[in-house]
Chain A
């Protein structure tokens, strides 16, 4: 346990480094020390102002809010992926099971079709979040049997809702203008471009709160991994716990998706890699996935905005692009070792 605590510490350091590099690096590169100084100055912790012209606004008003948003989204996806894999006792589960992505997409397409994005930045995230929560709420209602939520029901109803919402979204797309379709496509590819402090403001309380609450469930999740009856025998109700965890996990994912669009594979891949490295103990796995998700997304975003600079590749495209070889690697690994994922 102590050694595993070190893992979290090391990852915190890595996250700090990734943050500084990500903020300083870009079309205009700012030395790392100055980057830190600018941030501290704007937080009122340092009292210097001898920076090169333009640096301050690039760092603090353009890049840093984007980096903080990326951290929040990555942390949210990593945490909720780890938790979902624990709840479903399946290392291939991800937040998509909840129907969140399809709901968010429908919300987004509705907002676009009503012409709301032009009226205020708040509308897209608001509609996406509402759609995501509606979808997962419906998934719960459909899956529940006598107050319990059997895992299989959850997966089936998640698929049903995803398909239904997906078909409605596609239906709407065929009626709107090509401009609006492009707007929607851009959103679904997941982008962190142009995120401002406003985005951070609306998302950081729900994200941090949900992550904190989910941390508290890590021991319960460990016990649930031993099996439903084992859990019940020591006084843990798997259905109650599962319900609570899924509710917070839905809110968490919905919030993340609403500010970034759909970003796939982070929630699946990050906890999966970390489990391979440090084992299944959720008390370490979940915080490590939180930090890992943030670090991973930061690096993907950095890659996306630097490799074809000054143009940008959406971060969602980068993560999907990395997802493919990862699955091939797993396939190869199971073939060779006959190992279980």
Chain B
């Protein structure tokens, strides 16, 4: 199916295909500028979107996401050229545009108690002649989409008397009733709980599979990365990145757009891109802290210490360990060794060097086996040692008692705490 095949395309492929026939693009924007009074809201937007794509528009508040969507469906009249299916929308009348592109606005406030079916039927307006009533056919179309969004049972209920999630689904049915090839959504998930968010985006994905094109302005980057194969990043009315989600959603791009220190990483459990914005405390003296961890026990500690603004190092970790991925994302000093081969002398020495440099060494709530036993030996070099003990050490000893013996020895001159109370020890 054409739609499916197109959906797999990344923006890169779009560029290589640029020489192809223009009708491949459902939307082409060239040199678009938009002003409100004398303030330039959008600057030189150039965009090509193919049939069946699901494109997310991301960017900080005030970047121009909503304004751009309204330029595409003709509510705003921008400078430059907006072509839908190779037709300049500036030259089409309102109803012609509404047969090509539909928009679901953010937080539509409907205060008049119309029955839901009447609201959905307004989606048929572009197909009706002046002062013509809806035909049975129009009712069938409206009911079909209400059934699809599971709202047919509210057909005769007033739109003011349904819940937020139900209302959003009714408005989505209205959007579909317009039967356009291009569908625009402005923050469709705002005010929805997680289940309804998933539902709305699942609908969108299905639309794309059916060959329609969806462009959605979104503020939740995680949802955007999960559903949209292509993202467009706007900042101050300009496109600063456009391409496959993995290429757009990078720490550099996000830091540039949002002006915060954003960390993008792949969530190990879901395999999806995730974004983390650390809170940041500035400290005058940067206390040196070393962490001994592994197997995921240190990730939370790294984040916490990073946010507190300490100069941190970690070791010895192995390649592929989730803690070493975490250390990499946060960009801290780390000692990394080959996996499953025991700690080498070089790694051990480096680890001890870091420990000796540090004012505090933290031993995480980690499992002990033959291969990381030397990390415990290294801990003995610490001037100040804090041990995080969330689970009893007996359950974490896989060496048959050897590790436990060293651990108990270390405990004698260390401060023992839990992860939840770690901050007390550090202060």
Among the listed B73, B93, B131, which residue makes an inter-chain contact with A233, where contact means beta carbons less than 8 Å apart? B73
Bound CA span A222–B109, Å? 14
Alpha-carbon distance between A216 and B129 when the two chains are bound, in angstroms: 11
Which A residue sits closest to B73, measured CB to CB? A233
Q: Are B75 and A229 in contact (CB under 8 A)?
A: yes
Asked if A227 contacts B110 (CB within 8 A), the reply is yes
In the bound complex, CA of A96 to CA of B97 (Å): 36
> Is B74 touching A230 in the complex (CB atoms < 8 A)?
no
Contact count band on B: 20 to 34
Cβ-based interface call for B228 (8 A): no
Given A219-B131, A281-B114, are A234 and B109 also a contact pair (CB < 8 Å)? no
A234–B126 CB distance below 8 A: yes
Name which residue of chain A comes closest to B184, CB basis: A233
In chain B, positions 108-136 with a C-beta closer than 8 Å to chain A are 108-114, 118-119, 122-123, 125-126, 128, 130-131, 133
Q: Let me know if A332 is at the binding interface, CB within 8 A.
A: no
**Pick the contact of B105 from A223, A230, A237, A280 — CB < 8 Å?**
A230
Say what secondary structure dominates the interface of chain A.
loop
Distance of A340 Cα from B95 Cα, bound (Å): 33
- Residue B254 is within 8 A (CB to CB) of chain A in the complex: no
Indicate if the CB atoms of A234 and B125 lie closer than 8 Å: yes
Contact string, A216-249, partner B, CB cutoff 8 A, digits 1/0?
A: 1101001101110110111111000000000000
Residues in A whose Cβ lies below 8 Å from that of B113: 279-280
CB distance from A91 to the nearest CB of B (A): 10
Complex Cα–Cα for A274 and B75 (A): 33
Asked if A223 and B122 make an inter-chain contact with CB atoms under 8 angstroms apart, the answer reads: yes
Given contacts A223-B125, A234-B98, A235-B97, contact A229 B105 (CB under 8 A): yes
Task: Write out the residue numbers on chain A whose beta carbons fall within 8 Å of the beta carbon of B93.
Answer: 235
Within A290-341, the residues touching B (CB, 8 Å) are: 340
Whether A235 and B94, one on each chain, are in contact in the complex, defined by CB atoms closer than 8 angstroms, is yes
Task: Give the chain A neighbours of B176 by CB distance below 8 A.
Answer: none
Q: Nearest Cβ in chain A — how far from B174, in angstroms? A: 8
A226 with B74: CB separation less than 8 A: no
Q: Which residues of A contact B95 (CB under 8 A)?
A: 235
Contacts of B130 in A (CB 8 A): 216
CB nearest to B131 among chain A residues: A216
Residues facing B in A63-118 (CB within 8 A) are none
B102 CB within 8 Å of chain A: yes
Any A CB within 8 A of the CB of B48: no
**Does the CB pair B112–A234 fall under 8 Å?**
no
Query: Hey, which chain B residues are within 8 Å of A230, CB to CB?
Result: 105, 108, 110, 122
| Among A217, A229, A340, residue most surrounded by chain B Cβ atoms (within 10 Å) | A229
Write out the residue numbers on chain A whose beta carbons fall within 8 Å of the beta carbon of B110.
226-227, 230
Determine if A281 and B118 form an interchain contact, defined as CB atoms under 8 angstroms apart.
Answer: yes
Interface residues of A (CB under 8 A from B): 216-217, 219, 222-223, 225-227, 229-230, 232-237, 279-281, 340
Question: 22 A–B contact pairs at CB < 8 A?
Answer: A216-B130, A216-B131, A222-B122, A226-B108, A226-B112, A227-B105, A229-B70, A229-B108, A230-B105, A230-B108, A230-B110, A232-B74, A232-B75, A233-B73, A233-B103, A233-B178, A234-B123, A234-B178, A235-B96, A235-B125, A281-B114, A340-B111
- Lowest 7 A-B CB distances belong to which pairs? A235-B98, A216-B131, A235-B95, A235-B126, A234-B125, A235-B94, A280-B112
